[in-house]
A and B are shown apart, each in its own frame.
Chain A
């Protein structure tokens, strides 16, 4: 067998190809690009959460040094609003409220950071200076920032014509059957919680460069995007009316996304449109303060859940009511997050027979909320896994035994949940057992006692979770309101001398695609990864694609590549059959070698590619020259990674500080291509989950003023906030994609917050609390501990 040496295929922890440039400062992020004649834009933003704009005087700004133009919405007649890519329907079948999301504010601002005007100048500093000279006549009005306040009678209206600030009132599941299950319940456990609002804070701030070619009439947009083709489609078709053929979108190296760089943002449309007005390239780069008030935020749910149990602790049913904050406008995928990415996950890993969930999505005077790492699934998992602990305690059952009692059995797959999803594979008992062992769950009480002797409170918490990713079957999501297909595209170009270029519609912004995707080619075609180049992030190079989010790059994008490689092999066999004078049915292929079965007659992939491009001895009547194939892959189902996370924390009773002592993650992410990268993805996801549990919160005052608007105010996890994370995988294969992969990008952020919070509550078990809201800040914990002590004294 011709195996690549050293082995670089599936399962090898190959060191990353992209690291050479990143480690030497040779990455090319959007703000690193400078186009000839480039100018700079500064966006003037609203300081008010809610105000009418009576007038904007730009005369003084236009006269400032270096200023080329100042634009407001009055200059943008005929420009469309920013589109929403998912339409949810109300309980009564009517469509959700979908108010216009103007590129620049039209007569009204609806959140702090809402863009009002743009200055284009020779330098960034000149643009910023001139923006200070713009006089906006605001008439501030009362605002509202929380969902509960926004749906209360008499609340300030975010949009005219949207009654009660209600975007939609949606439900899923069988209400009557669920009520019936509750009617016969031995015990009902009720639990309410808030899922704290987060700011994604990818380290690279968003940036965009618009460039108009006055000769050809073509536009190019360089942008910090996870999905350049989606941006081309949304901006071209809905906002600026530019056909795809005249619009190129490039997403070069992107410094992290976590969801926040999926969406089509106003600044992309502004620089693209304005570049044709000033006839020069325009660059805009956010400073971090702008990121806080203009990048889509994540989470922000208020939920109540009720669990019906029989006398033995078996779950009979689940009812959930959730208020989800949409912010001031609908971001690109916002409506699907608290519905089809959330309520469909409420079965979790359990055999809950009936579920009914109601979700009200609400407009507020805050930055739009959309998918952030995990997107809906962390919210579902947190609600469910905290509820499981609360219920176990109420019925006096061990929390691990309670979970096991309700696990979906290993032999029950494929498993149909009562909330639409059908899980293809999983083994929750094995991931649980391995995590309990790795975390030394059995030995915990001794560690609790040892900590107690030092005056510390130790707690341990568990979460057994599942998620749905590999997004998504187009027909399914289309029937649920998606306005796009969610297939993926891969092109395999075998060059004449045997090196390979892969064009993928997915996008890498930290995931390591240049390595992992090359490993797929090494494994299947036998080409060393040094000779495999991955091209992504450029609509002029890649045929099409939907980008990277929802842990879809391998499950959907990798599967498209796999299909394209199948086509390469099929064509290669025909060429090989001709060269070796054999029947095509007798030609076998394995890792770079075509062989006539049962003989020693072979041809290498390079022999075939050379023949394909130099077709002198070639069946030209039957086979076209060249060796390049493209495949579109539309998945048959979502993929369902799952597993068990265990957190161990220690609380300093004097300060209230919660310290991470240990974290164990045992995840089933399907087949693992590069274990090193998978481990890194899980560690990073867990860090964000710990951040949500202990540190992070986007804070608005009641009227919509952003309080946590900088990295001085918003607590990002730092190295000394975190503990080592033990990561292991336990694989069951996905049954419906050719690679057997499920996805690993989001599991860390989905499974970890409830594990951490269950540990915090466990540590505080002697203080009469059955719940602590995220983030568990020192102030909150100190008050619990000392409030209790005061009461006891």
Chain B
């Protein structure tokens, strides 16, 4: 069986895989990083999005053996060692941008990449279009859009702290 060496969340792994093994299968089954989910079989839903070399990718659409030498970050690798959440994670919680939580890891990883690729901030329309590759069946996306806008302000220094969601 082929071997693949890659770094996941800062830890180097060398794993034997079948040639047909997908990156998401390597993450979930070999490394037991089950935060990355599989929601479809046609690269539509985005539940499996991780970062590779700083870019968001659908880990169901790349073979593990293509990831030789790659540096991969999954949802498990986002929070700081002391447990402090990434601003995007914090914003999703503050804005109630998740319900069942299944699409959430992919949604958060996509959102971080989306913000990173737009250093001057994003309009609501840009956020909605930027989420084309991620499906959520619970929230109707509205709170996800608000969370991403608020997180982008923190990530890009426009606000020092996360703007609280409007009080009820």
Contact = CB atoms under 8 A, between A and B. Distances in A.
SS class, residues of chain B in contact with chain A: loop
B12 to A, nearest CB: 20
Interface in B124-168: 125, 127-129, 131-132, 134-145, 165, 167-168
B61 to A, nearest CB: 13
A620 to B, nearest CB: 45
Interface residues of B, number: 58
Nearest to B85: A23
A24 B100 contact: no
A203 B96 contact: no
Interface string A717-746: 111101011000000000000000000000
A676 B105 CA distance: 21
Contacts of A512: 99
A510 B138 contact: yes
Contact of A22 (B33, B98, B129): B98
B20 A125 contact: yes
B78 interface: yes
A711 interface: yes
Contacts, number: 182
Nearest to A200: B137
User: How many of chain A's residues touch chain B, expressed as a range?
Assistant: 35 or more
Interface stretch (A328-336, A680-688, A753-761): A680-688
B39 A203 contact: yes
A680 B132 contact: no
Interface stretch (B51-59, B62-70, B86-94): B86-94
A719 B100 contact: no
Most chain B CB within a 10 A radius of its CB, from A24, A203, A748: A203
B92 A203 contact: no
Contact of B144 (A22, A27, A686, A719): A719
Contacts of A201: 137
B112 interface: no
B41 A288 contact: yes
B137 A25 contact: no
Residue of B37, B99, B139 ringed by the most chain A CB atoms within 10 A? B99
Contacts of A676: 96, 165, 168
A203 B102 contact: yes
B122 to A, nearest CB: 12
Contacts of B44: 710-712, 716
Interface string A504-535: 00000111100000000000000000000000
Given A16-B93, A203-B47, A711-B40, A718 B135 contact: yes
Contact of B94 (A15, A31, A258): A15
Interface stretch (A248-256, A302-310, A430-438, A464-472): A248-256
Contacts of B128: 719-720, 722
A19 B92 contact: yes
A202 interface: yes
Given A23-B92, A32-B34, A710-B40, 10 more contacts: A13-B165, A15-B96, A19-B93, A25-B76, A26-B76, A125-B20, A203-B39, A255-B102, A288-B39, A722-B141
